[in-house]
Amino acid sequence: MRPSLLDPLFAPAASLPGIGPKNAKLFDRLLGKPEGARVVDVLFHLPYATLDRRARPKIRDAIPDTIVTIEAKVTEHREPPNARSRAPFTVLVEDETGDVELVFFLANHAWVRSRLPVGATRWISGKLERWDGRNQIVHPDRVMDADEFARLPAVEPVYGLTEGLFQRTVARAAEGALKRLPRLPEWIGAETLHLMKLPGFEEALRSMHRPAAPRDVDSAGPAATRLAYDELLANQLALLLVRARMRGLSGRAHVAEGALGRRLETALPFSLTGAQRKAVEEIRADLKAEKRMIRLLQGDVGSGKTIVALIAMVEVVEAGRQAAMMAPTEVLARQHYERMAPLAEGAGLRIALMTGRDKASERRATLAALASREIDIAVGTHALFQESVAFADLGLAVVDEQHRFGVRQRLALASKGEVADLLVMTATPIPRSLVLAYFGDMDVSALREKPPGRQPIDTRAMPIERLQEVAAGLARALANGARAYWICPLVEESETLDVAAAEDRTAHLRALFGDAVGLVHGRMNGPDKDAAMARFQKGETKILVATTVVEVGVDVPEATIMIVEHAERFGLAQLHQLRGRVGRGAGRSSCLLLYKGPLGEAAQARLETLRETEDGFRIAEEDLRLRGEGDVLGARQAGAPGFRFARLEVHGSLLKRAREEAAAALKRSERLTGEENRGLRLLLYLFERNEAARLIEAG
């Protein structure tokens, strides 16, 4: 249970000053908590910039295009001639060195008159511009009398907002949240604090929300670093606790003679690459050992992970247990099943598919067969790991495209196969720093080598204005028997718009290519999706228009052309994944990245990188480097996925220390008991690593 000391932070945010029944929903949206934001969410919503109002010049000395705060006397009102006029309401103010026009468009005249009466002295703050030799401030941010000025913070925090919320409201709520912060014990070790010169937790939050200088909110500054370190420390503690738990559930040795695996291998139409062979050996060694396997199989798209996993599963079955493979989408689960079924059945194994789409009667039959061990290998979506599914004796769980699953599903999986070995696979090669952050200390096998015979993919970027040329080129390629994917724009947070765009493009392409054009998107029901995929696979359709449902794992070796529309809207890893759909067979493949200009710097760098390299590992590193330079609001507000503060391109170097500190703490006390660990226990709850926190409670 969460210590009551933290209760004030987990009270509803609506209890804070400035948040009333009207704007509580806006805060929920801003803070990404549809179920109701809490005080801690407000506290952790950090400013991403500041407004520096420390410049208090005389008018003559004011620097154009900077924020200035001046003391001046109001000398004249120039009102628009009549109510309907579009002319601004201008107020002239002066000090002994010069004058400034305050310009108000569409102003509330009564407000201007009463705030700036002629003859009064006021403090005015805003961006000064020089226009036609005159000084202007258009819509001053602040108009203050002496009392108000006395309360003006010299440096104001600037928060990310949502429509309908104002800076001042958020700042007020944050101020209220700071006041609710209980006195908390220090959880970072003295040595780390000293070495890294970190401020305290409370001090860090204070200096972010009440910055004294712009660098106080800098993500590389001491305050942000402190908070990022706290988060990484909580995260590493949680990972180590979960891992200790998984390892502690002593693994079992899966002892197989290897005959089935060999039979499977000889049935393959190809021989394994050196990298595949090595991965298989590493996995075999883990399976044989008493300790529980927790291994990540990293390999670029098309590097042949599936067969490695299948060999591992077959091994476990030969040792007398069951194996399961979980994929993130229906399409992918089905494809795995269809691929593996002939091979597995050829080796005398019983394999079944289980997805959320199964009829109740089918599902019941599968469940019974799993429980009675009539099924050796189960392939499915996360439906496989729901409460109601009971395996007779699960020996190995394989998770494909791991990065698409959240922590919760991963934990569900861990508890499902209490003693099952775990193999997770990812097609997005993850830099070491991310592996540590997300998975903790897993063993890693990597397939860096691709199966032989693959040709480089000719990658080009082209403005969408050249669509006609693209269509003509496509027509020629189709005439030569090619097959093509056409990926449609990703519309932020709107599946409906995604679908509309894909339907429009399909109509357009059908006008050119007739029945050769198929469509698959996220809103289609399962059977329709399968049917569309199957037609493309069989070559009945030659162009498959798709939203990003084809992103992961789908394998149609005959497809040699990938066209991505609005490529500038996709992330680097995603584009790399998409491109990986082609270049799988022997034919020469190409990838066309259609963009709508003008391109931002980051988008340009992404397309550039893709043209330069196909090495997924390099692309992953580049992705990490570039992500910090995305659009200011989007990227600066949010940390890496799953993190609030930590941004690995900035704070990645803290990770190692956080890991060591977490490990040392758990070594001293594996349940973090005792007064000296009170801070760390609080930290887990503060950062809501609740699943992990539960592991240190009695039981």
Report the 10 Å Cβ neighbour count for 134.
Answer: 12
Indicate the residue among 157 and 553 with the shorter CB distance to ligand ADP: 553
Cβ neighbours for 406, distance < 8 A, ≥ 6 positions apart: none
CB of 321 to ligand ADP, least distance (A): 23
Q: Could you give the angle at which helices 274-288 and 305-318 cross, rounded to 10 degrees?
A: 30
Indicate the residue among 176 and 302 with the shorter CB distance to ligand ADP: 302
User: Is position 307 an interface residue for ligand ADP (rule: CB under 6 A)?
Assistant: yes
**What are the angstrom distances between the C-alpha of 13 and each of 27, 46, 163?**
8, 15, 18
Which single residue brings its beta carbon nearest to Mg ion?
553
Indicate the residue among 305 and 529 with the shorter CB distance to Mg ion: 305
User: Is position 553 an interface residue for Mg ion (rule: CB under 5 A)?
Assistant: yes
Contact between residue 338 and residue 351 where contact means Cβ atoms under 8 Å apart: no
Pick from 16, 376, 417, 389: which is nearest to 181 by CA? Answer: 16
Count of residues engaged in binding ligand ADP, rule: CB under 6 A = 18
Show contacts with Mg ion in window 346-405 (CB under 5 A): none
Contact between residue 201 and residue 224 where contact means Cβ atoms under 8 Å apart: no
Residue 302: name its binding partner from Mg ion, ligand ADP, none (Cβ under 5 to 8 Å by kind): ligand ADP
Pick from 35, 28, 187, 222: which is nearest to 685 by CA? Answer: 187
Q: Which stretch binds ligand ADP (CB under 6 A): 192-200, 217-225, 296-304, 368-376?
A: 296-304
Indicate the residue among 306 and 609 with the shorter CB distance to ligand ADP: 306
Contact between residue 264 and residue 434 where contact means Cβ atoms under 8 Å apart: no
Q: Which stretch binds ligand ADP (CB under 6 A): 186-194, 302-310, 430-438, 663-671?
A: 302-310
Binding mask 417-456 for ligand ADP (x = CB under 6 A): ----------x-----------------------x-----
Pick from 46, 17, 35: which is nearest to 638 by CA? Answer: 46
Q: 3-class secondary structure for 235-283?
A: HHHHHHHHHHHHHHCCCCCCCCCCHHHHHHHHHCCCCCCHHHHHHHHHH
Show contacts with ligand ADP in window 584-603 (CB under 6 A): 584
CB of 378 to ligand ADP, least distance (A): 18
Indicate the residue among 42 and 343 with the shorter CB distance to ligand ADP: 343
Residue 303: name its binding partner from ligand ADP, Mg ion, none (Cβ under 5 to 8 Å by kind): ligand ADP
Indicate the residue among 273 and 677 with the shorter CB distance to ligand ADP: 273
The token pair that represents 122 in the structure block: 């006021």
Count of residues engaged in binding Mg ion, rule: CB under 5 A = 1
Distance from C-alpha of 440 to C-alpha of 656, rounded to nearest angstrom: 11
Residue 273: name its binding partner from ligand ADP, Mg ion, none (Cβ under 5 to 8 Å by kind): ligand ADP
Binding mask 222-251 for ligand ADP (x = CB under 6 A): ------------------------------
Indicate the residue among 160 and 299 with the shorter CB distance to ligand ADP: 299
Q: 3-class secondary structure for 377-395?
A: EEEECHHHHCCCCCCCCEE
Report the 10 Å Cβ neighbour count for 109.
Answer: 13
Residues that bind ligand ADP (CB under 6 A): 270, 272-273, 276, 299, 301-307, 427, 451, 553, 555, 557, 584
Residues that bind Mg ion (CB under 5 A): 553
